């Protein structure tokens, strides 16, 4: 089966709107559940979330600080795991993903990177129609 989502309109710092391949997810931690839109980022090796969200849901941050690299350069991060639920209609996927928690004050959306997410789905980015389609990979059956 496949599920599809329309790109979301995201406001840029300059006030302009851009369409983004984002999907609604529920992040589950020790403290709470947190519903958000996550950007599916084919350029990210691993998923990433801001420190304040990680603290809010109660992810394990008692790990060594390492460096993560991205479009913003080098940042301090902690690598851990997060549990997410992605669902639409009767389709529901419960995934545990490796994630870099980006330390410090950075304003960015939750990013779903390739490791742990892209190997679970065949992903179609349909820029022209503004849709993203996720088809379950064979290894989930």
The one-character DSSP state at 140 is G
**How far apart (Å, rounded) are the C-alpha atoms in residues 53 and 102?**
10
CATH topology for 2-136 is Cathepsin D, subunit A; domain 1 (2.40.70)
pTM of the model: 0.89
Domain ranges (residues) in the chain:
2-136
Cα dist from 47 to 20, 25, 89, 94, 141, whole Å: 16, 13, 25, 15, 23
pLDDT by residue (tens digit) across 89-130? 999 999 999 999 999 887 888 999 999 999 899 999 999 999
10-residue block means of pLDDT along the chain (141 residues)?
Answer: 91 86 95 94 93 92 84 84 94 94 87 94 94 81 46
**What's the token pair of residue 53?**
């969200």
Phi, psi angle pair for 58, to nearest 5°:
85, 40
């Amino acid at each position: 089966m496949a599920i599809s989502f329309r790109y979301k309109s995201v406001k840029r710092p300059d006030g302009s709107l851009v369409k983004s391949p984002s999907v609604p997810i529920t992040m589950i931690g020790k403290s709470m559940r947190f519903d958000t839109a996550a950007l599916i980022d084919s350029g990210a090796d691993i998923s990433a979330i801001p420190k304040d969200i990680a603290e809010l849901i109660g992810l394990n941050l008692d790990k060594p600080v390492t460096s993560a690299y991205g479009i913003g350069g080098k940042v301090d991060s902690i690598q851990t795991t997060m549990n997410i639920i992605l669902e639409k209609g009767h389709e529901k996927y419960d995934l545990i993903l490796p994630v870099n928690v980006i330390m410090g004050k950075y304003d960015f959306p939750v990013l779903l990177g390739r490791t742990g997410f892209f190997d679970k789905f065949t992903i179609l980015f349909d820029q022209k129609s503004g849709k993203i389609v996720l088809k379950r990979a064979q290894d989930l059956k």
